[in-house]
Amino acid sequence: MIGVLGSGSWATAIVKILTENATEKVYWWIREQSVIDGLHSDGHNPHYLSEIFFDTQKLILSNDIEEVIAHCNDLFL
């Protein structure tokens, strides 16, 4: 599995690229629950690159960094 740590503009862009090209789901660690909630409800990061929408079916969102690290072979920091 692939994971991304962080929810800034670079992380958001990387997650978009990964979800467009990866065959598996992408783990995404996001510290702020409000960002996770925004992704679930609106399909985009409410703080960065908000014009980019995600297929949330391809995302596993978590604010538990240990969970994300434990499930991923490859991490983007």
pTM above 0.75, yes or no: yes
pLDDT at residue number 56: 94
pLDDT at residue number 55: 94
Q: CB-hemisphere CA count at 13 Å for 3?
A: 22
pLDDT at residue number 58: 96
pLDDT at residue number 23: 79
pLDDT at residue number 70: 97
Do residues 75 and 5 touch, judged by C-beta distance below 8 A? yes
Residue pLDDT, tens place only, 8-57: 999 999 999 999 998 789 999 999 999 999 999 999 999 999 999 999 99
